[in-house]
Amino acid sequence: MADLQVLPVGQEVIGKTGLFVLPSFTERPATTYSDAYRDFEVSGDVQNGVRIRVYGLENSDIPKDKGMQKIESLTGLVMTVGSVRSRGKSKDEIVFEAKKMKLAK
């Protein structure tokens, strides 16, 4: 069983002056065991290549195909640290989760 630690964080952890999302994302439909979500790769002036997961397909905008797009608002950002077993080994996985992500037009 995975033990989870959830820590609320501000978006300043990723970027102070602005956050940008790459056009590629991963979308997972709802299953019996998990809710639907989208994974985005976000960069800022503090960290680059951070994965943010937004649960609920209606809670996030889809980025345009070309170039990076600025994030207008990021609501309820938390950092989740959990233990994951892969190929017989246990490792910690860090995932940022947000309740809602809105992109600038």
- Taking 80 as the threshold, does the pLDDT of residue 39 lie above it? yes
- Dist. CA 42–CA 22, nearest whole Å: 6
Query: pLDDT exceeding 70 applies to what percent of the chain?
Result: 96
Across 7-11, average pLDDT:
89
List the domain boundaries for the chain.
4-103
Instruction: State the pLDDT confidence band at 1, using cuts at 50, 70 and 90.
Output: very low
Across 35-42, average pLDDT:
94
Burial of 54 (0-12, 13-18, 19+ CB in 10 A): buried
For residues 23 and 68, the answer to whether their CB atoms sit within 8 Å is: yes
pLDDT tens, position by position, 53-102: 999 999 999 998 888 999 999 999 999 887 788 888 888 888 899 999 99
Phi, psi of 36 (to 5 degrees): -70, 145
Across 23-45, average pLDDT:
93
